[in-house]
Amino acid sequence: MCMNNSVTLKDIAKALNLSISTISKSLNDSYEISVDTKQKVLAYAQKHHYSPNRLAKGLKEGKSRSIGIVVCSLDNNVIAQMLDGIDTVSADNSYQIIIMQSKESQKQEAACIELLYSGGVDGILISPACETVDFSYLRSLQESGLPIVLFDRLSDQIDTHKVGADNFQGAYDATMHLIKNGYKNIAHLNTNTTLSIATERLNGYKQALMDSEITYRPELLRSCDYSDTQKLNSDLREAILYFMSLPDKPDAIFTATDQISTRCLTLLNKLGYHIPTDIALIGFTNTDLAEALSPALSTVHQPAFEMGQLAAKKLISLIESKVHDQEYETVMLETYIQARASTQSKD
Protein backbone atom coordinates (compact mmCIF):
# COMPACT_ATOMS: atom_id res chain seq x y z
CA MET A 1 0.00 0.00 0.00
CA CYS A 2 1.45 3.32 -0.98
CA MET A 3 0.81 6.83 0.26
CA ASN A 4 -2.77 6.89 -0.80
CA ASN A 5 -3.45 3.28 0.00
CA SER A 6 -3.16 2.17 -3.56
CA VAL A 7 -1.59 -1.12 -4.48
CA THR A 8 2.16 -1.15 -5.07
CA LEU A 9 4.51 -3.52 -6.81
CA LYS A 10 5.48 -4.82 -3.43
CA ASP A 11 1.90 -5.71 -2.60
CA ILE A 12 1.47 -7.61 -5.82
CA ALA A 13 4.81 -9.34 -5.37
CA LYS A 14 3.84 -10.49 -1.92
CA ALA A 15 0.43 -11.65 -3.00
CA LEU A 16 1.77 -13.59 -5.95
CA ASN A 17 4.91 -14.83 -4.30
CA LEU A 18 7.13 -13.23 -6.89
CA SER A 19 9.83 -10.61 -6.74
CA ILE A 20 9.17 -6.94 -7.18
CA SER A 21 11.23 -6.71 -10.31
CA THR A 22 9.34 -9.54 -11.91
CA ILE A 23 6.14 -7.63 -11.30
CA SER A 24 7.64 -4.45 -12.66
CA LYS A 25 8.89 -6.19 -15.77
CA SER A 26 5.59 -7.96 -16.33
CA LEU A 27 3.68 -4.74 -16.10
CA ASN A 28 6.11 -3.14 -18.50
CA ASP A 29 5.67 -6.07 -20.84
CA SER A 30 9.32 -7.06 -20.76
CA TYR A 31 10.47 -9.84 -23.08
CA GLU A 32 12.24 -11.45 -20.16
CA ILE A 33 9.04 -12.58 -18.52
CA SER A 34 7.01 -15.66 -19.40
CA VAL A 35 3.60 -15.20 -20.88
CA ASP A 36 2.16 -17.17 -18.04
CA THR A 37 3.55 -14.95 -15.32
CA LYS A 38 2.68 -11.81 -17.20
CA GLN A 39 -0.93 -12.85 -17.42
CA LYS A 40 -1.14 -13.68 -13.76
CA VAL A 41 0.40 -10.37 -12.78
CA LEU A 42 -1.70 -8.37 -15.18
CA ALA A 43 -4.86 -10.01 -13.96
CA TYR A 44 -4.04 -9.28 -10.34
CA ALA A 45 -3.01 -5.74 -11.13
CA GLN A 46 -6.21 -5.00 -12.97
CA LYS A 47 -8.36 -6.58 -10.35
CA HIS A 48 -6.77 -4.48 -7.64
CA HIS A 49 -6.60 -1.29 -9.68
CA TYR A 50 -2.86 -1.05 -9.66
CA SER A 51 -1.53 2.18 -11.04
CA PRO A 52 2.12 3.14 -10.80
CA ASN A 53 3.02 5.90 -8.42
CA ARG A 54 3.99 8.82 -10.60
CA LEU A 55 6.12 10.38 -7.93
CA ALA A 56 8.28 7.31 -7.57
CA LYS A 57 8.44 6.79 -11.29
CA GLY A 58 9.32 10.40 -11.84
CA LEU A 59 11.99 10.36 -9.19
CA LYS A 60 13.49 7.26 -10.64
CA GLU A 61 13.37 8.28 -14.25
CA GLY A 62 14.36 11.84 -13.70
CA LYS A 63 11.15 13.18 -15.14
CA SER A 64 7.60 13.58 -14.07
CA ARG A 65 5.57 13.62 -17.27
CA SER A 66 4.16 16.92 -16.22
CA ILE A 67 4.28 20.34 -17.81
CA GLY A 68 4.26 23.60 -15.91
CA ILE A 69 2.22 26.46 -17.29
CA VAL A 70 2.50 30.08 -16.23
CA VAL A 71 -0.10 32.58 -17.36
CA CYS A 72 -1.04 36.00 -16.09
CA SER A 73 -4.56 34.97 -15.18
CA LEU A 74 -6.98 32.07 -15.29
CA ASP A 75 -10.08 34.20 -15.48
CA ASN A 76 -9.57 35.25 -19.06
CA ASN A 77 -11.39 34.24 -22.16
CA VAL A 78 -8.44 34.01 -24.52
CA ILE A 79 -6.18 32.31 -22.00
CA ALA A 80 -8.82 29.72 -21.23
CA GLN A 81 -8.91 28.83 -24.90
CA MET A 82 -5.14 28.54 -25.02
CA LEU A 83 -5.13 26.36 -21.92
CA ASP A 84 -7.75 24.17 -23.52
CA GLY A 85 -5.46 23.71 -26.51
CA ILE A 86 -2.47 22.97 -24.33
CA ASP A 87 -4.44 20.46 -22.31
CA THR A 88 -5.70 18.63 -25.37
CA VAL A 89 -2.19 17.97 -26.63
CA SER A 90 -0.79 17.28 -23.18
CA ALA A 91 -3.47 14.75 -22.37
CA ASP A 92 -2.96 13.03 -25.71
CA ASN A 93 0.70 12.62 -24.81
CA SER A 94 0.05 11.59 -21.21
CA TYR A 95 1.41 14.74 -19.67
CA GLN A 96 -0.25 16.37 -16.72
CA ILE A 97 -0.50 20.12 -16.65
CA ILE A 98 0.23 22.20 -13.61
CA ILE A 99 -1.11 25.71 -14.01
CA MET A 100 0.03 28.78 -12.12
CA GLN A 101 -0.95 32.45 -12.31
CA SER A 102 1.53 35.30 -12.27
CA LYS A 103 -1.16 37.97 -11.90
CA GLU A 104 1.09 40.12 -14.07
CA SER A 105 3.70 40.32 -11.31
CA GLN A 106 7.28 39.52 -12.19
CA LYS A 107 7.95 38.50 -8.63
CA GLN A 108 5.05 36.11 -8.44
CA GLU A 109 5.98 34.76 -11.82
CA ALA A 110 9.45 33.93 -10.57
CA ALA A 111 7.91 32.16 -7.59
CA CYS A 112 5.70 30.12 -9.92
CA ILE A 113 8.64 29.11 -12.06
CA GLU A 114 10.71 28.15 -9.06
CA LEU A 115 7.88 26.05 -7.68
CA LEU A 116 7.35 24.31 -10.97
CA TYR A 117 11.05 23.68 -11.36
CA SER A 118 11.48 22.20 -7.94
CA GLY A 119 8.31 20.23 -8.56
CA GLY A 120 10.23 18.46 -11.26
CA VAL A 121 8.20 19.46 -14.29
CA ASP A 122 9.67 18.27 -17.54
CA GLY A 123 9.24 21.63 -19.19
CA ILE A 124 7.60 25.01 -18.88
CA LEU A 125 5.12 26.81 -21.08
CA ILE A 126 5.00 30.47 -20.28
CA SER A 127 3.23 33.59 -21.37
CA PRO A 128 5.19 36.17 -19.40
CA ALA A 129 3.66 38.74 -17.08
CA CYS A 130 3.52 42.18 -18.63
CA GLU A 131 5.82 43.43 -15.88
CA THR A 132 8.52 40.96 -16.79
CA VAL A 133 11.60 42.49 -18.38
CA ASP A 134 14.27 40.33 -16.84
CA PHE A 135 14.47 36.88 -18.37
CA SER A 136 17.76 35.90 -16.76
CA TYR A 137 16.20 33.44 -14.33
CA LEU A 138 14.34 31.69 -17.09
CA ARG A 139 17.50 31.66 -19.19
CA SER A 140 19.51 30.14 -16.36
CA LEU A 141 16.96 27.35 -15.99
CA GLN A 142 17.08 26.79 -19.69
CA GLU A 143 20.85 26.61 -19.64
CA SER A 144 20.69 23.96 -16.99
CA GLY A 145 18.55 21.89 -19.31
CA LEU A 146 14.92 22.77 -18.70
CA PRO A 147 12.90 22.99 -21.94
CA ILE A 148 10.94 26.21 -22.16
CA VAL A 149 8.47 27.42 -24.76
CA LEU A 150 6.98 30.91 -24.91
CA PHE A 151 3.46 31.39 -26.13
CA ASP A 152 1.18 34.31 -26.83
CA ARG A 153 3.41 36.97 -25.32
CA LEU A 154 6.84 36.50 -26.85
CA SER A 155 10.17 38.06 -26.02
CA ASP A 156 13.53 38.15 -27.71
CA GLN A 157 15.23 38.07 -24.34
CA ILE A 158 15.31 34.31 -24.55
CA ASP A 159 16.18 31.96 -27.36
CA THR A 160 13.71 29.10 -27.65
CA HIS A 161 10.61 27.97 -29.49
CA LYS A 162 7.93 30.65 -29.52
CA VAL A 163 4.33 30.44 -30.61
CA GLY A 164 2.25 33.56 -30.99
CA ALA A 165 -0.26 35.26 -33.21
CA ASP A 166 0.65 37.46 -36.13
CA ASN A 167 -0.22 40.58 -34.21
CA PHE A 168 1.22 42.99 -36.72
CA GLN A 169 -0.85 41.54 -39.53
CA GLY A 170 -3.97 41.35 -37.39
CA ALA A 171 -3.67 45.00 -36.47
CA TYR A 172 -2.85 45.92 -40.04
CA ASP A 173 -5.90 44.08 -41.34
CA ALA A 174 -8.18 45.63 -38.75
CA THR A 175 -7.02 49.13 -39.56
CA MET A 176 -7.26 48.47 -43.29
CA HIS A 177 -10.76 47.14 -42.79
CA LEU A 178 -11.75 50.42 -41.19
CA ILE A 179 -10.11 52.43 -43.93
CA LYS A 180 -11.80 50.44 -46.67
CA ASN A 181 -15.12 51.01 -44.97
CA GLY A 182 -14.60 54.74 -45.20
CA TYR A 183 -13.11 55.57 -41.80
CA LYS A 184 -10.05 57.79 -42.03
CA ASN A 185 -9.65 59.22 -38.57
CA ILE A 186 -8.72 56.15 -36.67
CA ALA A 187 -7.78 56.21 -33.01
CA HIS A 188 -5.94 53.39 -31.32
CA LEU A 189 -6.26 52.15 -27.74
CA ASN A 190 -3.48 49.96 -26.46
CA THR A 191 -1.88 48.93 -23.19
CA ASN A 192 0.85 50.82 -21.42
CA THR A 193 3.03 47.71 -21.31
CA THR A 194 6.31 46.97 -23.01
CA LEU A 195 4.98 43.68 -24.32
CA SER A 196 5.93 42.91 -27.87
CA ILE A 197 2.33 42.11 -28.72
CA ALA A 198 1.47 45.71 -27.83
CA THR A 199 4.21 47.14 -30.02
CA GLU A 200 3.42 44.82 -32.90
CA ARG A 201 -0.22 45.77 -32.88
CA LEU A 202 0.66 49.43 -32.75
CA ASN A 203 3.05 48.98 -35.65
CA GLY A 204 0.45 47.16 -37.71
CA TYR A 205 -1.89 50.09 -37.14
CA LYS A 206 0.76 52.60 -38.16
CA GLN A 207 1.76 50.66 -41.23
CA ALA A 208 -1.83 50.46 -42.44
CA LEU A 209 -2.16 54.21 -42.06
CA MET A 210 1.09 54.76 -43.90
CA ASP A 211 0.17 52.43 -46.74
CA SER A 212 -3.08 54.33 -47.07
CA GLU A 213 -1.33 57.66 -46.98
CA ILE A 214 -3.06 58.70 -43.82
CA THR A 215 -0.92 60.75 -41.48
CA TYR A 216 -0.37 59.16 -38.09
CA ARG A 217 -1.62 61.51 -35.41
CA PRO A 218 0.00 60.86 -32.03
CA GLU A 219 -2.96 62.35 -30.18
CA LEU A 220 -5.07 59.47 -31.50
CA LEU A 221 -2.99 56.92 -29.63
CA ARG A 222 -3.65 56.31 -25.94
CA SER A 223 -2.09 53.68 -23.74
CA CYS A 224 -4.12 52.44 -20.80
CA ASP A 225 -3.02 51.04 -17.51
CA TYR A 226 -3.58 47.32 -17.32
CA SER A 227 -2.85 46.87 -13.63
CA ASP A 228 -6.45 46.35 -12.61
CA THR A 229 -9.95 46.54 -13.98
CA GLN A 230 -10.74 49.75 -12.13
CA LYS A 231 -7.73 51.57 -13.47
CA LEU A 232 -8.27 50.22 -16.95
CA ASN A 233 -11.84 51.40 -16.97
CA SER A 234 -11.04 54.90 -15.80
CA ASP A 235 -8.16 55.19 -18.24
CA LEU A 236 -10.36 54.04 -21.07
CA ARG A 237 -13.11 56.40 -20.13
CA GLU A 238 -10.70 59.27 -20.02
CA ALA A 239 -9.19 58.30 -23.35
CA ILE A 240 -12.58 58.14 -25.04
CA LEU A 241 -13.67 61.49 -23.67
CA TYR A 242 -10.37 62.96 -24.78
CA PHE A 243 -10.76 61.59 -28.29
CA MET A 244 -14.26 62.92 -28.60
CA SER A 245 -13.25 66.33 -27.36
CA LEU A 246 -10.69 66.78 -30.12
CA PRO A 247 -11.49 69.37 -32.77
CA ASP A 248 -10.73 66.81 -35.43
CA LYS A 249 -12.16 63.85 -33.57
CA PRO A 250 -11.80 60.24 -34.71
CA ASP A 251 -14.54 58.37 -36.53
CA ALA A 252 -13.25 54.94 -35.52
CA ILE A 253 -11.28 53.18 -32.82
CA PHE A 254 -9.10 50.13 -33.13
CA THR A 255 -8.56 48.41 -29.78
CA ALA A 256 -5.60 46.18 -29.06
CA THR A 257 -6.76 43.62 -26.48
CA ASP A 258 -9.74 41.54 -25.48
CA GLN A 259 -10.29 43.50 -22.27
CA ILE A 260 -9.96 46.87 -23.97
CA SER A 261 -12.25 45.96 -26.85
CA THR A 262 -15.21 44.82 -24.79
CA ARG A 263 -14.86 47.49 -22.14
CA CYS A 264 -14.54 50.15 -24.76
CA LEU A 265 -17.77 49.05 -26.35
CA THR A 266 -19.51 49.12 -23.00
CA LEU A 267 -18.16 52.56 -22.23
CA LEU A 268 -19.07 54.03 -25.60
CA ASN A 269 -22.61 52.83 -25.09
CA LYS A 270 -22.73 54.21 -21.57
CA LEU A 271 -21.40 57.57 -22.67
CA GLY A 272 -24.17 57.74 -25.22
CA TYR A 273 -22.16 57.43 -28.40
CA HIS A 274 -23.78 55.54 -31.21
CA ILE A 275 -21.69 52.85 -32.86
CA PRO A 276 -20.79 53.05 -35.71
CA THR A 277 -22.44 56.35 -36.69
CA ASP A 278 -20.70 58.41 -34.01
CA ILE A 279 -17.69 56.18 -33.94
CA ALA A 280 -16.85 52.78 -35.34
CA LEU A 281 -15.09 50.07 -33.34
CA ILE A 282 -13.00 47.02 -34.11
CA GLY A 283 -10.73 45.20 -31.72
CA PHE A 284 -8.80 42.12 -30.78
CA THR A 285 -11.09 39.77 -28.85
CA ASN A 286 -12.09 36.13 -28.90
CA THR A 287 -15.42 36.31 -27.16
CA ASP A 288 -18.20 34.14 -28.55
CA LEU A 289 -20.55 36.94 -27.73
CA ALA A 290 -19.23 39.42 -30.28
CA GLU A 291 -22.25 39.04 -32.51
CA ALA A 292 -24.67 39.37 -29.62
CA LEU A 293 -23.23 42.67 -28.46
CA SER A 294 -24.84 46.01 -28.99
CA PRO A 295 -23.95 46.53 -31.74
CA ALA A 296 -22.42 43.32 -33.06
CA LEU A 297 -18.70 43.87 -32.67
CA SER A 298 -16.19 43.52 -35.48
CA THR A 299 -13.21 41.63 -34.20
CA VAL A 300 -9.70 40.46 -34.83
CA HIS A 301 -9.79 36.84 -33.80
CA GLN A 302 -6.73 35.02 -32.53
CA PRO A 303 -6.34 31.27 -33.00
CA ALA A 304 -5.94 30.82 -29.26
CA PHE A 305 -6.77 27.14 -29.06
CA GLU A 306 -4.34 26.37 -31.88
CA MET A 307 -1.65 28.47 -30.26
CA GLY A 308 -2.00 26.40 -27.13
CA GLN A 309 -1.89 23.18 -29.10
CA LEU A 310 1.17 24.14 -31.08
CA ALA A 311 3.04 25.48 -28.08
CA ALA A 312 2.41 22.23 -26.22
CA LYS A 313 3.56 20.20 -29.21
CA LYS A 314 6.76 22.22 -29.44
CA LEU A 315 7.46 21.80 -25.76
CA ILE A 316 6.84 18.07 -25.79
CA SER A 317 9.10 17.65 -28.80
CA LEU A 318 11.76 19.58 -26.93
CA ILE A 319 11.30 17.39 -23.87
CA GLU A 320 11.42 14.17 -25.79
CA SER A 321 14.23 14.96 -28.17
CA LYS A 322 17.48 13.58 -26.86
CA VAL A 323 19.64 16.00 -28.75
CA HIS A 324 18.97 19.57 -27.84
CA ASP A 325 20.39 21.00 -30.99
CA GLN A 326 17.23 21.61 -32.91
CA GLU A 327 16.90 25.06 -34.36
CA TYR A 328 14.52 27.12 -32.35
CA GLU A 329 11.71 28.67 -34.30
CA THR A 330 9.12 31.34 -33.83
CA VAL A 331 5.70 30.58 -35.25
CA MET A 332 3.14 33.30 -35.78
CA LEU A 333 -0.35 32.00 -36.34
CA GLU A 334 -2.71 33.95 -38.52
CA THR A 335 -5.50 36.02 -37.10
CA TYR A 336 -8.66 36.81 -39.00
CA ILE A 337 -11.09 39.66 -39.19
CA GLN A 338 -14.75 39.11 -38.41
CA ALA A 339 -16.59 42.10 -39.78
CA ARG A 340 -19.84 43.03 -38.06
CA ALA A 341 -22.11 46.00 -37.49
CA SER A 342 -19.68 48.04 -35.40
CA THR A 343 -17.63 48.86 -38.49
CA GLN A 344 -20.41 49.10 -41.03
CA SER A 345 -19.32 50.77 -44.25
CA LYS A 346 -19.91 54.52 -44.34
CA ASP A 347 -21.36 54.44 -47.80
Partner DNA sequence: CTGTTAGCGCATTCAT
Partner DNA sequence: ATGAATGCGCTAACAG
CA separation for the pair 203, 99 (Å, rounded): 32
**Residues 293, 300, 307, 318: which binds a second copy (CB under 8 A)?**
293
Out of 21, 294, 330, 345, point to the residue binding DNA (CB under 7 A).
21
Residue 34 binding target from a second copy, DNA, none, CB below 5 to 8 Å by type: DNA
204 burial class (0-12, 13-18, 19+ CB within 10 angstroms)? buried
Answer with the entry of a second copy, DNA, none that 192 interacts with (C-beta below 5 to 8 A by kind): none
Distance between CA atoms of residues 69 and 244, nearest Å = 42
Residues 3, 46, 47, 218: which binds DNA (CB under 7 A)? Answer: 3
- Name residue 176's amino acid: M
Nearer to a second copy, 79 or 176 (CB): 79
Among 120, 158, 331, 332, binds a second copy (CB under 8 A): 120
- Do the beta carbons of residue 253 and residue 259 sit within 8 Å? no
The single residue among 105, 155, 203, 266 that binds a second copy, judged by CB under 8 A, is 266
How do beta strands 186-191 and 336-338 pair? unpaired
Q: Total binding residues for a second copy by CB under 8 A? A: 59
Please count the residues of the chain.
Answer: 347
- Please name the residues in contact with 114: beta carbons below 8 A apart, sequence gap of 6 or more: none
For a second copy, give the closer residue by CB, 114 or 228.
114
Pairwise CA distance, residues 295 & 260, whole Å: 16
Q: What are phi and psi of 307, to 5 degrees?
A: -60, -45
Phi/psi at 264 (nearest 5 deg)? -65, -45
Contacting residue, 15, 34, 278, 329, with DNA by CB under 7 A: 34
What gap in Å lies between CA 307 and CA 303, rounded to an integer? 6
Instruction: Please give the residues from 21 up to 80 whose contact with a second copy meets the rule CB under 8 A.
Output: 51-56, 58-59, 62-64, 66, 73-77, 80
Residue 228 or 320 with smaller CB distance to DNA: 320
Which region, judged by CB under 7 A, interacts with DNA, from 28-36, 177-185, 224-232, 280-288?
28-36
Residue among 24, 37, 93, 96 that touches a second copy (CB under 8 A): 96
Any contact of residue 240 with a second copy (CB under 8 A)? no
d(CA 23, CA 42): 9
**Which CB, 202 or 318, lies closer to a second copy?**
318
Nearest by Cα to 235 from 243, 285, 249 = 243
In the range 46-85, which residues lie near DNA by CB under 7 A?
52-53, 56-57, 59-62
Q: What are phi and psi of 105, to 5 degrees?
A: -100, 130
Task: Using the CB atoms, write b or e for 303-329: b if 16+ within 10 Å.
Answer: bbbbbbbbbbbbbbebbeeeeeeeeee
**Residues binding DNA (CB under 7 A):** 1-3, 8-10, 17-22, 24-25, 27-28, 30-37, 52-53, 56-57, 59-62
**Residues binding a second copy (CB under 8 A):** 2-6, 51-56, 58-59, 62-64, 66, 73-77, 80-81, 83-84, 87, 91, 96-101, 114-120, 141, 144-146, 262, 265-266, 269, 287-289, 291-296, 305
